[in-house]
Amino acid sequence: MSAFIYLASQSPRRSQLLTQIGVEHRLLLPDPHEDAEALEAVRGREAPARYVQRVTALKLDAAVARLKAQGLPAAPLLCADTTVALGGDILGKPETAQDAERMLKLLSGQTHRVLTAVAVQHGRKRLTSLSESRVRFATLSPAQIKAYVATGEPMGKAGAYGVQGFAAAHIAQIQGSYSGIMGLPLFETATLLRQLGVRC
């Protein structure tokens, strides 16, 4: 039984979600010389599910190397990545406020998919899972979009919104995993961790 796991993610929401299911964890964040954002680059017309699983695997590879380089005690490692897909188009993190407005205009009145891939590794054993949910936004007026972007909440979030924040006022329907939409599907994560001997 492992007393704790490493969470290789800068997302405070993922840390909160692990705490929610009673998983002791320590952050294992990228070193300043690591280009973590470069791992998230989309390759051509990549399918959203393939993309999010590939990025998660790359993040886990980097975290395993980081763990070895720092000589830290062995423990299970967890990585995750979330992407928003409208049809076959991947909506990543907005680069500017204008980019956030563009994405929210696309999502307005539409149903989109939120895909979160989770990967855990302990020693040589690696396990993965993919959560897919559907979210339908109400029709947003240009003023509502501008007001939401002005809160700053869309920045740094796939699809330019956070389900647990102000955007909830505009979400008409959710099918799937609420925690998966937040960034870490708890049922799938707990299932993987239990297989590595972690208590949840």
Element (H, E) at 196: none
Which tokens is 193 given? 């961790």
> How far is it, in rounded angstroms, from Cα 198 to Cα 200?
6
Based on the residue annotation, tell me whether 81 is a catalytic residue of this protein. yes
The amino acid present at 4, given as its one-letter code, is: F
CA angle in degrees (0–180, nearest 5) for 60-65-69: 145
Q: How many C-alpha atoms does 137 have within 13 Å on its Cβ side? A: 25
Which member of 31, 35, 61, 81 is catalytic? 81
Q: Is 9 exposed, middle or buried (0-12, 13-18, 19+ CB in 10 A)?
A: buried
Residue type, 122: H
- Which among 24, 25, 19, 29 has a CA at the least distance from the CA of 67? 29
Q: Give the Cα separation of 127 and 193 in Å (integer).
A: 9
Cβ-contact 48, 40 below 8 angstroms: no
Which residues are designated catalytic? 81
